[in-house]
Amino acid sequence: MDVDVFVAAHQAQWARLEQLLGRGRRLTGEEADELVSLYQRTSTHLSLIQSSAPDPMLVGRLTQLVARARAAITGARRASWRDAARFFTAGFPAAVYRSRRWWIPTAVLSIAVGVLLGWWIAGNPEAQSVIAAPDDLRRLTQPGGEYETYYSSHPAASFAAKVWTNNAQAAAMCLVLGAFLGLPVLWILFLNMANLGVGIGLMASAGRLDVFLGLILPHGLLELTAVFVAAGMGLRLGWTVIDPGPRTRRAALAEQGRAALGMAIGLALILFVSGLIEGFVTPSGLPTWARIAIGVAAEAAFLVYVYVLGGRAARAGDVGDVEEADQTATLPTAA
């Protein structure tokens, strides 16, 4: 393509589009129709330039012009309470539901790794000696030891905030780093399961596994589920880099990236609930069965939320993406 000839042929249309966009008054019906027609033509021109003769200055000029025209046609839209309600009742649970084929296997395999590692540590004194010295191990696992006092070592409110921040960061890292083919996500999962396995192994070797489970289950069920969901979404994002499916890789990554961003917001709220349980319920004086029952109820409520609201929204076609009107146009329409 001869760029100079192309510019000469269409310069008048671009200038007219800029003139319409620069009007300080409302357009007439005829002018509005002309604006839409010129927007469509200019979008096609931009697509042709990008694919045939990517001139950086011309691409930048037409991109800005198309963006201005699209904003003028669609109008600016502000986020509202309706958007927030739609996100929490449809978008977020639909994204979690649609990614269940990733996070459920991730959860099963991760828990299996943690349990097997704990079983190996519990029956292997050599491994325990590598983890810590005998006196340190007793300080960790004995009645009133560090495993038990950890949850009551700080005021409940500040402890819950600290836990929430740490877990939200871990979930966000899984979502963001998933674009690197998912490899960093696997490492984050392994570190989490290694910590769990060490706790299981050391407390089991001291004959106090029931105490450990009574401390970890109230908040751990919901907390680990949120981490597994984030990890599953991160792995799905990584796989999209490898296999985008029938869409272009750019379009597929854009959709998955927007869904991942929304999921980060939703999971932050879920982890906030988990942090409250860990800060106020886990160290409380409630009987063990009552604390575990609260954790099971929170986990069950989340799963019902995902499978009922999320399943319904997913079957209706919601993929957890932003509304179509807020998405960037991916296929210009020729006039």
Identify the weakest region by mean pLDDT among 63-72, 101-110, 145-154, 210-219. Answer: 145-154
* In the predicted structure, residue 285 carries a pLDDT above the cut 90: no
Q: What is the pLDDT of residue 328?
A: 47
Q: What is the pLDDT of residue 334?
A: 40
Arithmetic mean of pLDDT, 202-230: 92
Arithmetic mean of pLDDT, 212-219: 92
Task: State the Cα–Cα distance between residues 189 and 45, nearest whole angstrom.
Answer: 47
- Indicate the residue type of 52: S
Structure tokens at 241: 């880099």
Could you give the count of Cα atoms lying within 13 Å of 235 in the half-sphere of its Cβ? 20
Residue by residue, DSSP assigns 168-203 as HHHHHHHHHHTTTTTHHHHHHHHHHHHHHHHHHHHH
Domain range annotation of the chain: 3-74, 82-325
- Calculate what percentage of the chain has a pLDDT beyond 90: 33
Q: 0.75 cut: is pTM over it?
A: no
Q: What is the pLDDT of residue 332?
A: 43
Task: State the Cα–Cα distance between residues 96 and 102, nearest whole angstrom.
Answer: 10
* In the predicted structure, residue 79 carries a pLDDT above the cut 60: no
Residues 230-245: tens digit of each pLDDT: 999 889 888 888 888 8
Confidence band for 159, pLDDT divided at 50, 70 and 90: low
Identify the weakest region by mean pLDDT among 74-88, 187-201, 205-219. Answer: 74-88
* In the predicted structure, residue 92 carries a pLDDT above the cut 60: yes
